[in-house]
Amino acid sequence: MKQIKYICIFICLMSIVLGLNGCGNYSEVNRLAFVIGFAVDKPDPTKDLYQVTFQIVKPNQTSNPTSGGGGQGVPVVNYTGIGRTISEAARNSSKKISRKSFYAHTAVVIIDENTAKDSIIKVTDALQRDPKIPSRVPVIIARDTSAQSILKAITPLDSIPSESLINQIYNTETVLGESSVEPVIKIVQRATSVGTDVFISGIGFQGNPEEASKIEELESQEPFSLLITKGIGLFRNDKLVHWMDGKKARALQIANNTLRQTNVTVPCGNHKFISVTINKSKAKTKVELKNKIPVVNLKAKMDGNIEEVTCAWNFNKPKTIEKIEKKAGEIIEKEIKQAIIESSDNNCEAFSLGHKLAIHHPKQWDKNKKNWNQLEKKAKLNVKVELSIERTGMRTNVGKERE
Please tell me whether residues 134 and 279 are part of one structural domain. no
Q: What is the DSSP string of 102-132?
A: E-TT--EEEEEHHHHHH-HHHHHHHHHH-TT
Are 261 and 232 found together in one domain? no
Examine the fold and report which residue of 186, 215, 244 is the final residue of a domain before the chain moves on. 244
Residue 150 and residue 262 in one domain: no
Does one domain contain both 108 and 189?
yes
Note down the domain range covering 182: 30-244
What's the confidence (pLDDT) of residue 394?
54
Query: What pLDDT is attached to residue 71?
Result: 44
Structural domain includes residue 8: no
Task: Quote the CA–CA distance of 182 and 121 in Å, as a whole number.
Answer: 14
Separation of alpha carbons 255 and 232, rounded Å: 14
Q: Coil, helix or strand for 385?
A: strand
Whether 200 and 284 map to the same domain: the answer is: no
Closest CA to 239 of 114, 117, 373: 117
pLDDT at 165: 82
CA distance 347 to 337: 15
Q: Are 338 and 250 in contact (CB under 8 A)?
A: no
Cβ neighbours for 396, distance < 8 A, ≥ 6 positions apart = 314, 315, 316
| Pair 121, 218 in one domain | yes
| Three-state DSSP state, 380 | strand
pLDDT values of the chain reduced to their tens digit, one per residue, 403 residues: 555 655 556 556 665 555 555 554 545 666 787 889 999 999 999 998 999 999 988 876 644 444 444 445 678 888 999 999 999 998 888 888 878 877 888 889 999 999 999 999 999 999 988 888 888 999 999 999 999 999 888 777 777 888 888 888 888 888 888 888 899 999 999 999 999 999 999 999 887 666 555 555 555 556 656 788 899 999 999 999 999 998 999 999 999 998 888 999 999 888 899 999 999 999 999 999 998 899 999 999 999 999 999 888 888 888 989 999 999 999 999 999 999 999 999 999 999 999 999 999 999 999 999 999 999 999 999 999 999 998 876 555 555 444 4
Identify whether residues 240 and 283 lie together within a single domain.
Answer: no
- H helix and E strand count, the chain: 13, 14
Same domain for 340 and 292: yes
pLDDT at 276: 93
Q: Which of 218, 244, 270 is the last residue of a domain?
A: 244
- Do residues 37 and 173 both lie within one domain? yes
**Overall domain count for the chain:** 2
- The CATH number that applies at residue 372 is 3.30.300.210
66 and 167 both lie in a single domain: yes
Domain boundary among 244, 272, 287: 244
**Spatial distance between the Cα atoms of 144 and 172, rounded to a whole number of angstroms:** 19
From 46, 47, 132, 144, select the one nearest 91 (Cα to Cα): 132
Q: Are residues 123 and 251 in the same domain?
A: no
210 phi/psi in degrees, rounded to 5:
-65, -25
Residue 10 lies in a domain: no
For residue 13, the model assigns a pLDDT of: 61
Residue 254 within any structural domain of the chain: yes
What's the whole-model pTM score? 0.84
